A and B are shown apart, each in its own frame.
Chain A
Amino acid sequence: MKQTSRILSTYSADAFGVASSLFELGGMVIIHDASGCNSTYTTHDEPRWYDMDSMLFVSAISEIEAIMGDDNKLISDIVIEAQKFHPRFIAIAGTPIPAMTGFDAESVAMQIESETGIPSFGFSTTGMHTYISGADKALAALAERFAKKDATPSKDHRINILGCTPLDFSTNGQVESMVKLLTDHGWHVNCTYAMNTSWESVENLGTADVNLVVSATGRATAHFLKETFGAPYLEAVPYGKDFSKKVIDALEMLYQGQEVSLFENVSEASSDACIIGEEIASLSLANALFLETGRRFDVLCPTNEGPLLRTNDHYTPYEEDIIENLSGRNLVISDPTYRNILTDKVRAVDWPHEACSGRIYRKYILNLIGDISDISEKL
């Protein structure tokens, strides 16, 4: 049955994507939930919780407040704390009960903004989608609100890296490696949206000549920046030596105003090998491995139904489909939790993903930027 999982984990949810993507930006994020979301997110999905005083709270909604539709309590609670903490912005993310009661997150945000004067956002997350949708909406909303509209591409090889959250890149130096790679090739990185970056760089998102989208969580922001400022974007994570060179070349072509189709050269013939993970990261790894080993990999994407997926790639969040898809495979690269459904005949190569297994394999998360030997040597 589609919606059941005998043993597989569930991916981080949309409300947590909102929280993760906005964590470092000086705002106050409120997950509108009774209780559990707070500890779930901060225990499993937020490696920065212990070290950074980010303002992430739950509304602690009660049964009677939900039944009576008492939004005033929520608004009042948020206003009280906002007046103490002076956040740069306020964001409210919904969960299953607000979704059931028809909670109007955007209207509540407007009300809070009118009472506090602090820019406020309401995200109608339901807790029933993956982190991708929540983070994608949140990052785009902030870019639309705060990126200076009078900015223009600076024409000095300036670039933003869009879609950086620990859910996809943990805190093991992957973002820093991407910055170094780009810098080493003559790019000026304006913003790593939204980890390890300054508020000023967020305001200057529109000054980039090109955007590099490293996760589907950055896609909506890239669309916005292209439409508003004309900056083209490339969707890829620069994994491995050869593929990262292709990425660098592709960025240069974009900078020069040329069209680029990065994933076009990879065969669409079905393979006995498979990568399970987020769309852009998995496709990038598949391409990197193909270039360096000649081995083809299909992609099985449980997080989002993205436009990059090829004919033999597959989107499904369901354990039943994943098991079926993996039958006949000999080699699977995935988060270690997938080992629970792999037979002894399958060679499993671990590629831990925080959005899947949370903190369990955090210390084993790989940094494959510019070098995929940690995986290619295990094939």
Chain B
Amino acid sequence: MLRKVNGQEVHIDPIPISDITFPSPFPAGLEFSSPARGTWNIAHQGMLIPEAHEIFVCAASCLRGVVLTAYEMKAQERFSTVAVEENNLIEGNMEELIIDGVSSIIKSLPQKPPCVLVYTSCVHHFCGCDLDMVYRELRERFPDIDFTDCYMNPIMRKSGRTPDQIMRSRFYSLLKEKEIRKGSVAFIGNDFSMAKDSVLYRALISAEVPVYELTECKTYEEYQEMARAEYYIVDYPSAKVGGEDLQARLGGKLLYLPFTFSYEEIRENLSKVAAVLPISLPDFDAEEASCENALSQALSKIGSTPIAIDYTAFTRPLGLARLLLYHGFNVKRVYADAFIGEEKRDYEYLCEKHPDLEIWPTLSAQMRFAADHQQSDYLCIGQKAAHFNGAPHFVNLVENGGFTDYQAITGLCELMIDAYENEKDIRDLISKKAWGCESCI
């Protein structure tokens, strides 16, 4: 692809999947920010805890994004800030700033919240701030408020647990040990409720298994009831460590059922649940036949339309590409800056069977010029793919969208048909932060 930049021609070239280095295909360098904003950030996610109040302690440049996030989701009453200034770095009074700042805000709130999420940032990590002392002091000052340590420190994204993994764990750190309710489950780490028409959810409900979900909690008390779960079901890869933390702390058991488009893995996942809970396993052959039927119907509509997939829609973009290519769809492009290890088998399959599948980055500086300003005929799955391809025919969904097991396949087929038949306003939809969240934009 060629683009004119300052009168010069710039080559923007993808890499065939057979030539990439798995799992990180592209070198680190300057980064571009696509205008697709549908993924959730840590301010959105913290608001899932009912009645929680968020306090961010950061420099102004870091505060701006999250404070306006809170405004856009009309949650500004649940959001406050403590601004770090240069004198705090020089004087080394960061602990004092956090303790006094958070205390001052809590005292000014019209109602005392049951819990406060205190987000510190990169500068606290670098200045050696004694956060243990900070939280100890806050808990002494406000014994009737639950505090937890949250982090907005993207500089740590390549050091151990990623910020996303940490935060998907911290949002459950407020759960207090309770007597475990035998045979109950909690879905952990998702920003969206589990699809009610999924095989797993239907099986749990029909077996009268108590189900806890953060996204369904209306009060802080209800949130605390999640601690009664005997099993923590995690299907979002970066939430797995959160499930492990809960297992170690509260005594329930983690059931990691990685989101997948593979029939084999779906069978494994459902069987894992059936091994510990009294649910009836579905007729796998019948479920898979209905997936095949849905894929066939979608293919009959979509035909050879070129398809592009991005990593923000589903955590397994290669698995999805494999599924669709296997069933005759014309998948041409996958947009992802890195892949999770769980995609290795799909990567190897695609290298062998579809070596020319194009892998595109989303963050590389060259992608600034990759957006197709002409409307394209691509059918896209994901907001970034839609943006880069100028494709009004796109599936608008992020972070697996609550989809799971066979329902992910049948549900996606329905969305693909709808996207094929109906145009969407790309700019309007992708500019809204946090797909599925309230937005005043």
- Quick one: given A35-B31, A53-B368, A85-B6, are A130 and B122 in contact (CB under 8 Å)? no
Per-position contact with A for B355-372: 1 when CB-CB < 8 Å, else 0?
000000001011011000
Majority secondary structure, A binding face: mixed
For the complex, give the distance between the alpha carbons of A88 and B6 in Å: 8
Those of B110-129 within 8 Å (CB) of chain A = 121-123, 125-127
B155 CB–A CB distance under 8 Å: yes
A240 CB–B CB distance under 8 Å: no
B32 CB–A CB distance under 8 Å: yes
B433 CB–A CB distance under 8 Å: yes
Residues on B with C-beta less than 8 A from A64 are 158-159
| Number of A residues, CB within 8 Å of B | 68
Stretch at the interface among A95-103, A105-113, A246-254, A256-264: A95-103
Q: Are A44 and B65 in contact (CB under 8 A)?
A: yes
Name which residue of chain B comes closest to A35, CB basis. B154
Q: How far is the CB of B88 from chain A (nearest CB, A)?
A: 8
Q: Are B122 and A97 in contact (CB under 8 A)?
A: yes
A55 CB–B CB distance under 8 Å: yes
Q: Are B86 and A39 in contact (CB under 8 A)?
A: no
Residues on B with C-beta less than 8 A from A55 are 5, 365, 368
A344 CB–B CB distance under 8 Å: no
Q: Are A95 and B61 in contact (CB under 8 A)?
A: yes
Q: Are A86 and B8 in contact (CB under 8 A)?
A: yes
Q: Are A63 and B156 in contact (CB under 8 A)?
A: yes
B300 CB–A CB distance under 8 Å: no
From B30, B59, B72, contact of A126 by CB (8 A): B59
Q: Are A16 and B155 in contact (CB under 8 A)?
A: no
Stretch at the interface among A76-84, A170-178, A218-226, A230-238: A76-84
Those of B360-399 within 8 Å (CB) of chain A = 363, 365-366, 368-369
Per-position contact with B for A3-33: 1 when CB-CB < 8 Å, else 0?
1111101111111100000000010001001
Stretch at the interface among A147-155, A273-281, A304-312, A356-364: A356-364
A197 CB–B CB distance under 8 Å: no
From A60, A62, A96, contact of B159 by CB (8 A): A62
Q: How far is the CB of A335 from chain B (nearest CB, A)?
A: 11
- Quick one: given A7-B76, A10-B67, A360-B72, are A38 and B62 in contact (CB under 8 Å)? no
For the complex, give the distance between the alpha carbons of A358 and B64 in Å: 9
Name which residue of chain B comes closest to A318, CB basis. B83
From B67, B71, B157, contact of A34 by CB (8 A): B157
For the complex, give the distance between the alpha carbons of A61 and B188 in Å: 31
- Quick one: given A5-B80, A85-B10, are A37 and B61 in contact (CB under 8 Å)? yes
Q: Are B60 and A9 in contact (CB under 8 A)?
A: no
- Quick one: given A5-B80, A97-B126, A128-B84, are A43 and B159 in contact (CB under 8 Å)? no
Name which residue of chain B comes closest to A317, CB basis. B83
Residues on B with C-beta less than 8 A from A49 are 35
Q: Are B30 and A57 in contact (CB under 8 A)?
A: yes
Determine the interface band of chain B, counting residues with CB < 8 A from chain A.
35 or more
Residues on A with C-beta less than 8 A from B368 are 53, 55-57
Residues on A with C-beta less than 8 A from B33 are 38-39, 42-43, 58
B289 CB–A CB distance under 8 Å: no
Q: How far is the CB of B33 from chain A (nearest CB, A)?
A: 4
Q: Are A10 and B159 in contact (CB under 8 A)?
A: no
Q: Are A86 and B155 in contact (CB under 8 A)?
A: no
Residues on A with C-beta less than 8 A from B64 are 9-13, 16, 40, 44-45, 358
A117 CB–B CB distance under 8 Å: no
For the complex, give the distance between the alpha carbons of A16 and B65 in Å: 12
Q: Are B62 and A36 in contact (CB under 8 A)?
A: yes
For the complex, give the distance between the alpha carbons of A11 and B67 in Å: 10
Q: How far is the CB of B439 from chain A (nearest CB, A)?
A: 10
Q: How far is the CB of A132 from chain B (nearest CB, A)?
A: 12
For the complex, give the distance between the alpha carbons of A34 and B154 in Å: 6
Q: How far is the CB of B258 from chain A (nearest CB, A)?
A: 26
B152 CB–A CB distance under 8 Å: yes
For the complex, give the distance between the alpha carbons of A35 and B59 in Å: 14
Q: Are A100 and B29 in contact (CB under 8 A)?
A: no
B330 CB–A CB distance under 8 Å: no
Residues on A with C-beta less than 8 A from B58 are 96
B68 CB–A CB distance under 8 Å: yes
Residues on B with C-beta less than 8 A from A128 are 59-61, 83-86
Residues on B with C-beta less than 8 A from A100 are 89, 123, 126-127
Given pairs A5-B82, A81-B365, 7 additional interface contacts (CB within 8 A): A16-B61, A58-B30, A60-B31, A64-B159, A100-B126, A360-B71, A360-B440
Interface residues of B (CB under 8 A from A): 3, 5-8, 10, 28-33, 35, 37, 58-65, 67-68, 71-72, 76-77, 79-86, 89, 97, 100-101, 104-105, 108-109, 121-123, 125-127, 152-159, 363, 365-366, 368-369, 427, 431, 433, 440-441
Q: Pick 30 A–B contacts, CB within 8 A, sort by A.
A: A3-B85, A3-B97, A4-B81, A4-B82, A4-B108, A9-B67, A9-B68, A12-B64, A34-B154, A35-B31, A36-B152, A36-B154, A38-B33, A39-B33, A39-B65, A43-B65, A57-B31, A62-B158, A63-B125, A63-B155, A63-B156, A85-B6, A86-B7, A96-B121, A97-B123, A100-B89, A101-B126, A337-B71, A359-B441, A360-B440
